[in-house]
Chains A and B, each alone.
Chain A
Amino acid sequence: MHSDVLVQLENVSVGYPRHVVLAGITLGIRRGTFTGLLGSNGSGKSTLLKTIVGIIPPLEGKLTWNPEVRIGYVPQRDLLDSIYLLSSLEVVTMVTKGEKQWALECMEATGSANLARKRFSQMSGGQKQRVLIARALATRPEFLVLDEPTAGIDPGAASAIMDLLDKIHEKRLTILMVSHDLALVRGHAERVIWLHNGKLDEGPANEMLSRERVLEIFELDLG
């Protein structure tokens, strides 16, 4: 594997036992890139993302991580409903070795330090997302992976989250983000991966999000 590549998938099938979601996927995520992963509902975006970060093992093929890569993962917020009792500082500190100061610094970096003592469950969608990004940063990642970070958030908060991701990216962090929002991805990602009809298409954002390509993909998806 090239040292510039953080994660490499070669002919990988992803999904669950007795249910293959995507097959024959070959993909490499390069160091320092900001990539948007797009596709319609049920196209396998989240399953692919979870395979890339190691939550779901590949059904077939070869998945290789760069040995030094540390992955910071930001899951979908609604999956974390069960942590309703925890304060946001506890949510962040959970992934550190009790380093409260470092957890607070990460919250400061994402603009959520003022929410440290507030219960996670009592925060708005945008606030929760900032806390979850702070938590991912607290693992000192080189590669930040986000599953729909702007879903269900009002446009202003979503735009602020994307600006925050831009700032994080400027510090040489590699970012891979699942999204439904073409406009948000267009304004921030350098590369785009499309998933449609069980196939993967990858390239520079301006090319992958051109009017012709988007129409082509949606026509394919619509049938």
Chain B
Amino acid sequence: MAMLREILDPNFLLRNSVHISLLVGFAAPLVGMYLFLRRLVFMGVALPQISSCGIAFAFALQGWGLLRHAHETAGERALALLGSTVFTLAAIAVFAALERRGRGSPEARIGAFYVLAGAMSILLLVKNPFGEHGMLDMLKGEIIAVSNGELMFTAAIFLIVTVPIIAFRKHFLMVSFDREMALTLKKRVLFWDALLFTLIGMTISTSVLSVGPLVTFGFLLLPPLIAHQFAATMRQFALISSAMGGLTAFTGFALAYRWDLPVGATDVALLGAVLAVSFVLKKLL
């Protein structure tokens, strides 16, 4: 209890880490549920990896002398976000274009992109004197040093993403679940699809930048996996997913703080445990 009081104290040293975990925990499942329902779970694994490859690439540009080294944190962060966002959105565009051509297996394509992005991230990092340290922390999911600026920025992006995700949910549902019906109703299917995937891309790139690819993947997909077992409607599905993400993010942080564990890995392991318990509960009910 004393530990909880300490974490909830406004002067707690790691309060920004708690807040950023909560932001990712609440927001990521709201976009992750579309990946889950559209059967694009693999994409939820590959995109965070591609996003972190984008960050590594942006830092590599500095290492190669093609970009001036940004000495201040805000400059580095902007560069990382640019790399992350460009790679994520480009990957989404490439996946969509290949999907429209309808050739080959989507899983194989996504799997290939995933391993290539992972390998590229490592290669770009080991030869980069500027980005290596911070990137390795990020890849491990160490959510410790979060500045006020980073926190505000992440909160702003998640607000920008969450508002349209909620406001336009009917359109997103329609193009996600019944594209053919949407076409017969003369809906702008391409526009709504593009908007949804842009929001997914923004969430993933911001989240990867804040908490790393492992935690991003965990919060994108595990809360919806838990929620779908109990939700009877889409509203319940969204609420349970988001609440489960937020609750696990907080509990995971507390456990990691208590036992001095990496926050990201603790969050994901906890989500896995909740998923296992929920599965057993569902079988018993």
Question: A interface vs B, CB < 8 Å?
Answer: 50, 53-55, 71-73, 75, 79-80, 82-83, 85-87, 90, 94-95, 98, 117, 119, 135, 139, 145
A159 CB to closest chain B CB (Å) equals: 26
B65 CB to closest chain A CB (Å) equals: 45
B181 touches A75 (CB 8 A): yes
- Using A87-B232, A90-B233 as known contacts, say yes or no to A82 and B37 having CB atoms under 8 A apart: yes
B184 touches A53 (CB 8 A): yes
Bound state CA distance, A117 and B233, in angstroms?
9
Of B46-54, B169-177, B263-271, the stretch lying at the interface with chain A is B169-177
- Using A82-B37, A94-B173, A94-B177 as known contacts, say yes or no to A55 and B234 having CB atoms under 8 A apart: no
Minimum CB distance partner of B38 in chain A: A82
Specify which chain A residues have a CB less than 8 angstroms from the CB of B174 in the assembled complex. 94-95
Question: B interface vs A, CB < 8 Å?
Answer: 37-39, 170, 173-174, 176-178, 180-181, 183-186, 228, 231-234, 237
Specify which chain B residues have a CB less than 8 angstroms from the CB of A87 in the assembled complex. 232-233
B184 touches A73 (CB 8 A): yes
Specify which chain B residues have a CB less than 8 angstroms from the CB of A54 in the assembled complex. 183-184, 186
A80 CB to closest chain B CB (Å) equals: 6
A86 touches B234 (CB 8 A): yes
Specify which chain B residues have a CB less than 8 angstroms from the CB of A145 in the assembled complex. 184
- Using A55-B184, A75-B178 as known contacts, say yes or no to A90 and B234 having CB atoms under 8 A apart: yes
Minimum CB distance partner of B233 in chain A: A87
Minimum CB distance partner of B186 in chain A: A54
Bound state CA distance, A98 and B38, in angstroms?
22
B167 CB to closest chain A CB (Å) equals: 12
Specify which chain A residues have a CB less than 8 angstroms from the CB of B232 in the assembled complex. 87, 117, 119
- Using A98-B170, A117-B232 as known contacts, say yes or no to A73 and B181 having CB atoms under 8 A apart: yes
B184 touches A80 (CB 8 A): no
